Structures are given as structure tokens and as C-alpha cells.
């Protein structure tokens, strides 16, 4: 099977001239590159290289289509014309036989289909490269959506990934930009995403977490997971009723306020990123519906992004600095985050950032792309040896999706103006007196555990003065005492600030 697959890939590559793309960039200094140049005849193609690559991936099937989709997000590595063209890839796959889906459901659960569901619709409502979805109804009358992995998809993925890895090695050896583009790392990143999508229990847990984060929200609805019916190959969740967000005419017929919907999308995105550090990273129109009440409905939770506190601080500082044209602060934020070498000259980095960003501000704010600005910043930072941050690349791709969706709903959407109040409020909560109170509350349990231990530790050390471990124990005591004094200092300062605020309110 692998030889047949390899033959098909070779045929498609020749048909769409992918060999010419490699040879055009092949280094004549490598032996392999020189041999290929002599053996392969030069040909000319009317279609641009990016279009030919997209069409080749579509011909090779769903796994290669999905690879192209992931590749399109790596705009920090691949040329803009290719990334823009690959972003047009649509994952439309014919469904597999329903009998196979039922067999997999019964094999995973150990029960018959009739024992699991009162009603099961044999016609799939959606079909993608990895799984397809059927509507059903539980015996208690609850309507559900049943997601089932494609039979044999694991074997297909293993074969295609092995071929992609071999192609990545070849490209790295013969292409001039092969090493810079890091093809093997890109394939490894794709393999990770793909294998994560093969575990539907993982997707179910992502869905459950996002639902918990937005419990009681009037902006976003996330389906409930029915864990008793889930396995690694089957996911059963609440059936959602809504209209695809791309069907604007139907939304207008339902009297949905599209301008409010676009602003809500921005707020949902920034809430996920800065409040939770856990965001839906595949928010294209096919995964978003709108309820009759005008709320967003999230679907498909196979790819989620996460951010640490340091990442969130970095992003908020950069965005706010952009709003204020404080390029020095942008440069310093990169250095403080450790993403560029500590010896980087702030003034040189600031100058490079200014050259990228200043022309943008000559345009009306509504005409400025938030996502593309972030991308240009990453590209500029790469000149200063900035390390690629995978979590930010995923975030940037999601931001581009959100921005495109928002402006489709409301062409006049000013993403900067919409986001700025949210970011300023979040930053105030991080560095203001509210943050102080929160940190004091978080550290309280630790203080309660530290204070009672100090007398015992001091007594133990005094009784063992002659032992060689004295220095180490004294260092432990010194560290804990120092921590206690720092805590008391923070408490005192915090109390003083709160008292001052209270007095100020009384005097007003």
C-alpha cells in the first residue's frame, strides 16, 4: 500500500510541477540537487506555484489537505503567496458507510446501537478527513450529535506521515531554504495536531473545559459532553441548533444584529486568551454557528491553544503599546519575555519595529489588520534571532480567523477600538489594587502553612549546632524567614493602599 501511495504522490507531483518548485529553489552546491537538475527536464506552467501546490494537495486527499491547512498557519516560515493560497483549502470529504460507523460505535461501547440510542439518523450531517457526525436521540429524549472516527484512519495517517517525513528530509537536503523552513519540524508539529484529533476523549475534555469557562455566558454556547457514551473513537455531545455564521442572509432574516455579533466575537476571543489562557484555535466559519437568540455556538474542539501568564502579559503589553505607538515598550517586552537574546540593543530593535508599524497608522484604524500587524512583528523579530513561539503562531492564525469573520459580519468593524477597552481593563486587573488583593488571597493558604513551622525549625537547628548540615538548615530557615518578612511587607503595603483608597472615598 505504501508503494502504491508513493507512486500516486510522485504522479501528482509531476502533474502539478511540484518537482519544478523544489528544483527552482534547489541548491546547486549539493550533490543531490545537481543530479536532480540534470535528470528532471525543465517545464513551464501557466498557473502560479502556490495554486499548483494547493491543487496537488487537494488531489492527494484529506490528510494532505489538512497538512496544507496547518502549513498555511506557519506564515513565519513559508512565503506569503503560498500561505495565502493554502489558506483557501477546504476539508470537504465524502462520508464513509454508516454501517461502518455503527460497527465502531458498538465495538467501542460493547452495546448494540438500539441499547444506546432511541433514534439514530443513518445520514451523516457532516463529514471531514478524520471523522463524521450523525444526529441521534438518547432514550431519555435528549437530542445528541455523535462523532465517529473514520475506520482505518490511523493506518492511513501513519502511512501519509511517513511519506511526509521522507519528503521533508529530501526538501531540507536539496532546497536552499530547506533548513530555514524547518520542514521536519513542521511535519512533526502537524503529526502532533493530527494524533491529538484522533483521540476523541481529548476533544471531549477540551469541549468540557471551554463549556465550564463560559458557563452562564450570554455570548458563547458550548455543547455538553455525555461522558458515559464517549471513548477514544466516539464522542457524544449535546445537539446544537443554529445557523452557520457564514450564512449572512439567513441571519438577517432572523433579525440577528450582525454588528453586535462581530463585536461579541472579538470579546469572546480576548476573553479566552487573556482571562482563561485557553482558546479555540480552529475558529473558521464551518465550526461556528449562531443560535436563534444571537449567541455564538462553538463546535469541533480538536485543536485548542493555551497560554501561560507570561505569554498573556507579553501580548497585552504589546497590543497596548501598539495603540500608543510606544515602540520602545514593544521592543522591551520582547526582551523581557526572553524571546530575543538579552544582549539585543533596544534602540535598534525599536527602530526596526517602528519601520514596520508606523506606515500602518497612516490608515484609518478600521483598515488596519490586527493579525497581519502581529505577523509583521514576528517577521521583524526573526531578524533579531527571535525564537519561533508555537503557541503564538497558533494564536496569530486564530486572530486572523476572528478578524476575517468579524469584518465579514461588519465591514466597518474597528478591531483595535473594540479590543482596546478590554485589554486596558485586563491590564488594570493584573497590575492594580485588585491584583494585589487577589495575590494576597492566593498566598494566604501558603502563609498559614509556613508560619507555624518556623519555631520548630529554629528549635531543631539549635539542637543540632554541631552537625555538618547546619549551614544547609540555616539557609532553609533564612529563606523561610525572609519569605515571611516579604509577605508581611506586602500585607502592610496592601493594607495601607486599601486604607488610603477607603479614606479617599470618604473624603469625596
Q: Is the pTM of this model over 0.85?
A: no
One of 282, 300, 311, 414 is an active-site residue; which one? Answer: 282
Quick one: pLDDT at residue 143? 98
| Least reliable range by pLDDT among 189-198, 202-211, 240-249, 264-273 | 189-198
Give the pLDDT mean for 62-76.
Answer: 71
More confident residue, 237 or 31: 237
**Structural domain boundaries of the chain?**
2-91+165-195, 241-431, 434-507
Among residues of the chain, what percentage have pLDDT more than 90? 24
Task: Determine the Cα–Cα distance for residues 68 and 74; give it in Å rounded to an integer.
Answer: 10
pLDDT-based confidence at residue 382 (cuts at 50, 70, 90): low
Angle in degrees, CA 152, 155, 156, rounded to 5:
85
Quick one: pLDDT at residue 455? 67
Residues in the chain: 508
Give the pLDDT mean for 438-451.
Answer: 63
410 a catalytic residue:
no
Q: Residues 386-433: pLDDT tens digits? A: 665 666 667 777 777 777 788 788 888 777 777 778 777 777 776 656
CA distances from 440 to 20, 310, 450, 482, 485 (A): 63, 19, 15, 17, 14
Give yes or no for residue 168 having a pLDDT over 70.
yes
Give the pLDDT mean for 56-85.
Answer: 74
Cβ–Cβ under 8 Å, residues 345 and 306: no
Q: Give the number of other CB atoms < 10 A from CB of residue 421.
A: 10
| Least reliable range by pLDDT among 37-51, 75-89, 125-139 | 37-51
Cell, residue 36: 536532480
| Least reliable range by pLDDT among 166-180, 198-212, 310-324 | 166-180
Q: Residues 113-150: pLDDT tens digits? A: 999 999 999 999 988 888 999 999 999 999 999 999 99
pLDDT-based confidence at residue 90 (cuts at 50, 70, 90): low
Amino acid at each position: 500500500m505504501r508503494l502504491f501511495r508513493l507512486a500516486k504522490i510522485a504522479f501528482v507531483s509531476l502533474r502539478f510541477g511540484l518537482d519544478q518548485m523544489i528544483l527552482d529553489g534547489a541548491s546547486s552546491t549539493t550533490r543531490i540537487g545537481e543530479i536532480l537538475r540534470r535528470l528532471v527536464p525543465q517545464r513551464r506552467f501557466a498557473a502560479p506555484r502556490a495554486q499548483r501546490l494547493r491543487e496537488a494537495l487537494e488531489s492527494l486527499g484529506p490528510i494532505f489537505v489538512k497538512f496544507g491547512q496547518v502549513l498555511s498557519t506557519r506564515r513565519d516560515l513559508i512565503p506569503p503567496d503560498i500561505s495565502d493560497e493554502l489558506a483557501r483549502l477546504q476539508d470537504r470529504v465524502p462520508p464513509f458507510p454508516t454501517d461502518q460507523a455503527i460497527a465502531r460505535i458498538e465495538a467501542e461501547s460493547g452495546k448494540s446501537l438500539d441499547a444506546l440510542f432511541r433514534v439514530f439518523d443513518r445520514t451523516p450531517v457532516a463529514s471531514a478527513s478524520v471523522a463524521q457526525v450523525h444526529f441521534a436521540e438518547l432514550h431519555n429524549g435528549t437530542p445528541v450529535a455523535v462523532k465517529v472516527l473514520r475506520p482505518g484512519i490511523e493506518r492511513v495517517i501513519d502511512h501519509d506521515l511517513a511519506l511526509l517525513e521522507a519528503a521533508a528530509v529530501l526538501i531540507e537536503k536539496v532546497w536552499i531554504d530547506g533548513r530555514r523552513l524547518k520542514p521536519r519540524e513542521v511535519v512533526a508539529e502537524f503529526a502532533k495536531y493530527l494524533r491529538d484529533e484522533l483521540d476523541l476523549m481529548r476533544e471531549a475534555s477540551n469541549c468540557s473545559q471551554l463549556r465550564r469557562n463560559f458557563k452562564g455566558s450570554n455570548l458563547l454556547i458550548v455543547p455538553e459532553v455525555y461522558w458515559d457514551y464517549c471513548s477514544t473513537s466516539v464522542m457524544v455531545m449535546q445537539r446544537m441548533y443554529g445557523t452557520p455564521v457564514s450564512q449572512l442572509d439567513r441571519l438577517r432574516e432572523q433579525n440577528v444584529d450582525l454588528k453586535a455579533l462581530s463585536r461579541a466575537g472579538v470579546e469572546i476571543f480576548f476573553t479566552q486568551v487573556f482571562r482563561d489562557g485557553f482558546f479555540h484555535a480552529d475558529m473558521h466559519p464551518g465550526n461556528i454557528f449562531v443560535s436563534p437568540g444571537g449567541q455564538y455556538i462553538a463546535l469541533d474542539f480538536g485543536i485548542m491553544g493555551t497560554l501561560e501568564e507570561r505569554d498573556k502579559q507579553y501580548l497585552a503589553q504589546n497590543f497596548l503599546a501598539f495603540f500608543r505607538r510606544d515602540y520602545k515598550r514593544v521592543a522591551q517586552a520582547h526582551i523581557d519575555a526572553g524571546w530575543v537574546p538579552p544582549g539585543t540593543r533596544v534602540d535598534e530593535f525599536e527602530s526596526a519595529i517602528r519601520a514596520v508599524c508606523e506606515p500602518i497608522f497612516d490608515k484609518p484604524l478600521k483598515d488596519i489588520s490586527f493579525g497581519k500587524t502581529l505577523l509583521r512583528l514576528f517577521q521583524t523579530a526573526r531578524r533579531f534571532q527571535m525564537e519561533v513561539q508555537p503557541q503564538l503562531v497558533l494564536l496569530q492564525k486564530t486572530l486572523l480567523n476572528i478578524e476575517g469573520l468579524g469584518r465579514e459580519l461588519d465591514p466597518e468593524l474597528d478591531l483595535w477600538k473594540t479590543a482596546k477597552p478590554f485589554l486596558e481593563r485586563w491590564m488594570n486587573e493584573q497590575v492594580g489594587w485588585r491584583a494585589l488583593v487577589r495575590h494576597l488571597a492566593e498566598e494566604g493558604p501558603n502563609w498559614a502553612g509556613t508560619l507555624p513551622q518556623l519555631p520548630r525549625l529554629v528549635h531543631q537547628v539549635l539542637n543540632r549546632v554541631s552537625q555538618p548540615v547546619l549551614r544547609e538548615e540555616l539557609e532553609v530557615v533564612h529563606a523561610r524567614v525572609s519569605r515571611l518578612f516579604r509577605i508581611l511587607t506586602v500585607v502592610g503595603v496592601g493594607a495601607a493602599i486599601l486604607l488610603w483608597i477607603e479614606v479617599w472615598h470618604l473624603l469625596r
